[in-house]
Amino acid sequence: MGELRIPENEPGSSIMPGKVNPTQAEALTMLCAQVMANDVAVNIGGASGHLELNVYKPLIINAALQSARLLADGCHSFEEHCVRGIEADVERMRELLERSLMLVTALSPHIGYDRAAEIAKKAHREGSTLRAAALALGYVSAADFDRWVQAQSMIGPTP
Amino acid sequence: MNAAMSGTRTEKDSFGPIEVPADRLWGAQTERSRRFFRISSERMPLPVVHALARVKKAAAKANLELGLLDAEKAHAIQRAADEVLAGKHDDEFPLSVWQTGSGTQTNMNVNEVLANRASELMGGERGQKRLVHPNDDVNMGQSSNDVFPTAMHIAASLAVDDVVAAAEILKNTLTQKSEAFASIVKIGRTHLQDATPLTLGQEFSGYAAQLEHAQQAMNSALGLG
């Protein structure tokens, strides 16, 4: 998507010069997989006590402590080396927003779902903008389109 | 004297005599576990050992107050436990995670180390002539099924404290980003496909809210929330 710029911390490839990867996110999702695996082990251990004594306790505490350590260290590393330095690529986000056919949703209350869908499908089929497709079909005037289709007014309840 | 030069000493338990490294504080039952459970490289986590030392210290204090343990022994056990808690004997707990499922061998490891060290603190020896008994004195009034789960809870609680604190830092940074990005409108996505728009700040506030929920769950597990 390219919407966010994350800190470039280290070289990412042994053969591809200049490559930089989202390594902090990779480490975080890897450790999350281990934590979920530990959760399975803890659950099986907890469910496997026999009569008056559970005989899975070293497994349980080892897995639980590893999970806690991984999550604590993972939060610190991800915060310090990734989240803190995240920047928004505003230009890229505007481009993707303006190109998106889903802004057609704003027309639904005015011209109905079916006509709005027809506009979106036409724009998609022809590779045109929503605006061009809407005007070509004659379902809205240019002025109404510009007044109704505004992403800014779609991000929360209408005042 | 360099203890490492003197080889081994003989320790005994109810199964008979066994040689242990002379420079080590552990005793017979630890040595047996060490030999019978050579399984992988995961050792019993030190936070569990340290939590057991806290339990042993508290038990010695309680047993003294109850008149069950004499003052000299009780104080020596507590001093030895303090040394373990200070990290002075971390190498004396060599047992594998993959041992008896009750943790009895680690409980005895702590009992043996504290008994030998307490004996030395009282001016006695380590080994069979020690002045403090691992079972009768250090483990007095306790079963492994009492102290090991208690130590697990202590260790887990302290570990979760660290997670809550780390999550707080990450949450605060995400909240700052959410505020900084409050006016950036972008396309939303559901099913990984374009959907109706939102702000980048709204996206980040969702991540921060998830951490808030996770913290509440952790605090609830700790009995705080």
Instruction: Kindly state whether residue A133 falls inside one of the protein's structural domains.
Output: yes
Give the SS3 label for residue A45.
Answer: helix
Least CB-CB distance to A75: which of B45, B101, B166? B166
Find the CB nearest A83 among B152, B170, B198.
B170
* H/E run at residue B145: helix B144-180
The domain spans of chain B are: 3-142, 160-221
Give me the pLDDT at residue B25, please. 98
CA distance A149 to chain B (A): 11
Across the interface, which of A76, A103, A151 has its CB nearest the CB of B166?
Answer: A76
Domain termination residue (choose one: A56, A88, A120): A88
Residue whose tokens read 């203890």:
B3
Is the same domain home to A9 and A77?
yes
Burial of A142 (0-12, 13-18, 19+ CB in 10 A): exposed
Last residue of a domain, one of A88, A115, A135: A88
DSSP string across B13-76 = ETTEEEEEETT----HHHHHHHHH---SSPBPPHHHHHHHHHHHHHHHHHHHHTTSS-HHHHHH
Asked if residue A59 belongs to a domain, the reply is: yes
Do A40 and A108 fall into the same domain?
A: no
Q: Which residues of A touch B101 (CB under 8 A)?
A: 54-59
Mean pLDDT of A136-156: 94
- Cβ separation A61–B48 shorter than 8 A: yes
Please indicate, yes or no, whether residues A9 and A80 belong to a single structural domain of this protein.
Answer: yes
- Closest of B180, B159, B167 to residue B207, by C-alpha: B167
Predicted local confidence at residue B2, as pLDDT? 46
Q: What is the 3-state secondary structure (H, E, C) of B146-209?
A: HHHHHHHHHHHHHHHHHHHHHHHHHHHHHHHHHHHCCCCEECCEECCEECCCEEHHHHHHHHHH
C-alpha R_g of chain A: 26
Q: How far is CA A122 from CA A80, A135, B10, B188, in A?
A: 46, 11, 89, 21
Residue A93 domain flag? no
Check which CATH number belongs to the domain holding A116 and give it: 1.10.40.30
Neighbours of B192 (CB within 10 A): 7
Q: Does A40 touch chain B (CB under 8 A)?
A: no
Residues B159-202: tens digit of each pLDDT: 999 999 999 999 999 999 999 999 999 999 999 999 999 999 99
Give the residue from chain B lying closest to A105, CA to CA. Answer: B196
In this structure, the answer to whether residues A33 and A72 fall within a common structural domain is: yes
Task: State ipTM.
Answer: 0.92
Rounded-to-integer distance, Cα A151 and Cα B12, Å? 79
| Residues of chain B found within 8 Å of residue A57, distances taken between Cβ atoms | 101-103, 148-149, 152
Count of domains for chain A = 2
Identify whether A25 is part of a domain: yes
Q: Which of A61, A88, A115 is the last residue of a domain?
A: A88
Look-up of token digits 């998507």: A1
Confidence of residue A50 (pLDDT cuts 50, 70, 90): confident
A96 has a chain B CB within 8 A of its CB: yes
Beta-carbon contacts of residue B33 (< 8 Å; ≥ 6 apart): B95, B96, B99, B100, B105, B108, B109
pLDDT beyond 60 at B4: no
Per the structure, the complete domain to which residue A112 belongs is given by: 100-154
Q: What is the mean pLDDT of chain B?
A: 96
B199 to chain A: nearest residue by CA?
A: A155
The mean pLDDT of chain A is: 95
B54 vs A57: CA distance, rounded Å: 19
- CA dist B19 and B35 (Å) reads 11
**Residue B3 confidence (pLDDT) above 50:** no
Residue A24 lies in a domain: yes
Q: Rounded to whole angstroms, how far apart are CA atoms A57 and A73?
A: 24
CB B140 within 8 A of CB B59: yes
Contact call for B166 and A154, based on CB within 8 A: no
User: Do both A118 and A140 map to the same domain?
Assistant: yes
**CA separation for the pair B119, B19 (Å, rounded):** 19
Q: How far is A61 from chain B (nearest CA, A)?
A: 6
Which token pair is A90?
């505003």
Q: Take residue A49 and report the two structure tokens written for it.
A: 């006590």
pLDDT of residue B5: 55
Arithmetic mean of pLDDT, B98-112: 98
Contact list in B for residue A103 (CB cut-off 8 A) is 196-197
Write the CB contacts of A3 (distance below 8 Å, at least 6 apart in sequence): A88, A89, A92, A93, A96, B186, B200
The structure tokens listed for B183 are 């006016």
Query: What percent of chain A is modeled with pLDDT above 70?
Result: 99
Position A158 scores a pLDDT of 75
For A108-134, the pLDDT digits (tens) are 999 999 999 999 999 999 999 999 999
B3-142: CATH number: 1.10.275.10
Contacts of B177 in chain A (CB under 8 A): 83, 86
The answer to whether residues A57 and B102 touch, using CB atoms and an 8 Å cutoff, is yes
Give B182 to chain A, closest Cα distance, Å: 11
Distance from CA of B67 to the nearest CA of A (A): 30
